[in-house]
Amino acid sequence: MASQKTKFVVGLFLVCGIGIALLAFIWLGMSRYFEKGRYFVTYFNESVQGLDKDSPVKYRGVSVGRVHSISVAPDSKLVKVVLKIETGMVLDTDMVAQLKSVGITGSVFVELDQKKKNEPDRSPPLSFPSEYPIVASKPSELGEILRGIDDILNKIKALDLEGISAKIKSNLDTIETTVQEANVKGLSRKIERSLDQLNQILDGHQWDKILASTQETIRAANEFFVKGNATLTQVETALSQARGVIADNEQTIREALRNINKVIERTASLAEGADETFSTMRKNLSVSAQNLERASENLNRFLEVLADQPSQLVFGEPPPRRERDPEPSNGERP
């Protein structure tokens, strides 16, 4: 029979083992609640088949977090995916989320990337508030391919295939009727006759003459081109010689141009001096003409007085002394 001490030790061992197991389960269950990270939410308007809780969240292939939860949005239309970012990365408004698959296994993860420049916002509209910061989303690549196929099929369905086939059939009937009315066999016979007549007209000798004349024309053209090339060569030689002469006499030409410029400047200065001299002479001539006019007037008056009263020349009083005119301020002589 086991002693009381043995029973106590066994009971204590069992109690400690059970306690350690409970602490391990509690620690494993609560460890996620103590993990650091920030929560964001994104909404998808498509199937998220293959995306599970704890699926990775990657930024350009680098794991930055995991999927915290997946549920249906409050509007019962969209799918709500809560993301837990564990690397301290901040998702700004330029970030966009997209579903991507891994190989052929069917598993899906959330890919984050920067929104491209001028890329439109293709996130589904929300009619309810969100408890976490919202990350924009866009359709997956497979969804875009399927949507493009649906658009193509809808456009094909919108085509009036029956009307197009009816038009093609009517056009074919019209072509057939036109061909039958054109009497193709008769036209072919006429063409064959015309070709026979042409062959008869253009026999072997005439063909030889035509070929000979053609060859002669080609030979003359070649000679013309050869002469033209020789002429161009001579022209190029003359131009090169002229360039050499100009290069050799460049200094002389420049000095001649300088002398010509000096002559032109001197001529201009002489012309300006001549203009000033002519203007001065014109003014002097005008003043002399005025003086002559006054003297002639005075002489006429004297002759008139002498004719009327000749005795005034001997017994008359001398005329009063005439005051002298003031000299001009500009130095001109009267």
C-alpha radius of gyration, the chain, whole number: 60
Please tell me which residue, 7 or 313, carries the higher pLDDT value: 7
Please tell me which residue, 277 or 82, carries the higher pLDDT value: 82
Most confident of 72-86, 103-117, 159-173, 304-318: 72-86
Q: Where are the domains of the chain?
A: 34-139
> At residue 100, what are phi and psi to the nearest 5 degrees?
-135, 145
- DSSP lists the bridge partners of residue 65 as 57, 85
The predicted structure's pLDDT at residue 333: 47
- What is the residue-wise DSSP string for 74-121? TTSSSEEEEEEE-S-----TTEEEEEEE-TTS--EEEEEEEPPTT---
Tell me the CA distances in angstroms from 148 to 121, 153, 167, one per residue in order.
18, 9, 29
147-178 confidence digits (pLDDT tens) = 778 778 777 777 767 778 778 878 888 887 77
Between CA 267 and CA 260 the distance in angstroms is 10
Its pTM stands at: 0.40
Please tell me which residue, 75 or 281, carries the higher pLDDT value: 75
Is the pLDDT at 291 greater than 70, yes or no? yes
The predicted structure's pLDDT at residue 248: 73
- The three-state secondary structure class of 19 is helix
Is the pLDDT at 1 greater than 50, yes or no? no
Between CA 237 and CA 269 the distance in angstroms is 45
- The mean-pLDDT minimum among 36-40, 76-80, 234-238, 316-320 falls in 316-320
Between CA 195 and CA 193 the distance in angstroms is 5
Between CA 114 and CA 52 the distance in angstroms is 24
Is the pLDDT at 310 greater than 70, yes or no? no
The predicted structure's pLDDT at residue 110: 92
Helices and strands per DSSP (H, E), number in the chain: 7, 7
The predicted structure's pLDDT at residue 67: 92
